[in-house]
Amino acid sequence: MDEKEIREAEILKEELGNPEEEIFVEKDQSVEEVLIDSIDEKNHKIKNLISMVILLAGLFVGSLFVDIVQLVRGGGFSQKALSSADVFQSAGKTWVAYTEPMVTIKVVSDDSCGAACKPDEVLVGLKGALPTMITEKIDVNSAEGKKLVAQFKLKTIPAFIFSKEIEKTELFAKAQPFLDQQGDAYAIKSAEAGFPVGKYLVAPTVSEKDIKIGNDDAKVKIVLFGYFQNPDDKKYYQNVITPVIKDYGDKIQLVFKNYFPASSVQGAQAAMAGQCANAQGKFLAYSDKLFATQDAWSKVKDDSTIFKGYAANLKLNVVDFNKCFDSKQFKDQVDATQKEGQDFGIQMTPAMFIGSDLQLPTATYDDVKKVLDNQLK
């Protein structure tokens, strides 16, 4: 460069305000072009710096504003506030912090069932044990409801199904024996957990091993879970079951399933005796005798002699009866009906199903007659 160009470059450095930064001018580039490019580059850097300052300032002010609101009004949820307290008040509500995850619980029910199927009572109890749960209502007749019924083989509603997150809660270890896992979800075994039944979705099964009175092709089937030692069962059997069998005959089929407390030795013995009498086609006569003489045998420690005596009085084949009774020939069947009653959540007897409808133990003959007449129509 000549002396003039060197002088212009020095002036350019002074105008840019950075005497330490050297300016290089290419051979074919004028001083004016270098000046314009340098100014543009500097302005671009300044704009970037200003934008960064504004962004950082905005974040700081926003965080500061939330913290100030939290202090002044008791509202707002900044990270700082959340880290320093476990209880908040906002919008008229108190918010409590938990370390456990949110768990979704699907409640399968049926509005047409009325008050009996409302899950409110159970949900209140579950909320106390699992405060982080959120509920989702599922109609049993919807596509999802039918899918859940099939997936978990639900027998009763309301039914309660937890999402996989329950595995991360303290409740899981305690509730696991009452949970049925299918895929990534868990259904509460309502019967085993003792939850109230609003409605049964299926009827108890009837097998060839069951005690059956009446034809297999009868239009209406009555399934009775009964306990020979229970005075309420005696009254129900005499006032409802016996006249129903007499009045409806082959139009119905009665299926009797033994169901008694596990601690009842006499109840187990009476169930075995009834099964052995049924093997000879004499169940009705023998059951009438058991209920009629309930006070005589229910208080005896060893009632086997009494039961064998009843077989002789009713003209059963005593040799076959005694062999059946002593060998506990039908123990597997008695055990099976016990388990079935538990699966259906039977908590007391008498428990009579007409189809899938459970009749109350307080039902009268007239109550049962109305149901039977409707179903026979």
Residues 132 and 59 in one domain: no
| Final residue before a domain boundary, out of 87, 116, 150 | 87
pLDDT above 60: residue 85 = yes
Res 60: pLDDT = 45
pLDDT at 332: 96
pLDDT score, position 88: 74
Average pLDDT over residues 127-140: 93
Band (368; pLDDT cuts 50, 70, 90): very high
Degrees to nearest 5, angle at CA 286 with 337 and 305 = 95
pLDDT in tens, 175-207: 999 999 999 999 999 888 888 888 999 999 999
Residues 279 and 359 in one domain: yes
| Helices vs strands, H then E, count in the chain | 16, 14
What is the number of structural domains in the chain?
Answer: 3
Q: Does residue 249 sit in the same domain as residue 192?
A: no
Q: Is 375 exposed, middle or buried (0-12, 13-18, 19+ CB in 10 A)?
A: middle
Which residue range(s) make up the domain with 56?
1-87
Residue 177: predicted pLDDT: 92
| Prior bond of 350 cis (ω within 30°) | yes
At 47, the pLDDT band (50, 70, 90 cuts) reads low
Burial 320-344 (b: 16+ CB within 10 A, else e): ebbebbeeeebeebbebbbebbeeb
pLDDT at 36 over 80: no
Out of 200, 234, 261, a domain closes at 200
**Does the pTM of the predicted model rise above 0.85?**
no
Q: Do residues 147 and 220 share a domain?
A: no
Peptide bond before 158: cis, by omega within 30 degrees of 0? yes
Arithmetic mean of pLDDT over the chain: 85
Same domain, 222 and 349: yes
Q: In terms of domains, do 298 and 365 share one? A: yes
Query: For residue 94, is it within any domain?
Result: no
Which pLDDT belongs to residue 246?
95
Residue 67: pLDDT above 60? no
The CATH number given to whatever domain includes residue 169 is 3.40.30
Of 134, 169, 200, the last residue of a domain is 200
Q: Which residues pair with 107 in a beta bridge?
A: 137, 160
Name the band, by pLDDT with cuts 50, 70 and 90, for residue 44. low
Residues 29, 164 within the same domain: no
Q: Same domain, yes or no, for 369 and 344?
A: yes
**Digit-coded pLDDT (tens) for 2-27:** 565 556 556 555 555 554 444 444 44
Mean pLDDT of all residues in 288-305: 92
In this model, does residue 41 exceed pLDDT 50? yes
Region 271-279: mean pLDDT is 97
Higher-pLDDT residue of 273 and 8 is 273
Share of the chain above pLDDT 70, in %: 78
**Other CB atoms within 10 Å distance of the CB of residue 164:** 14
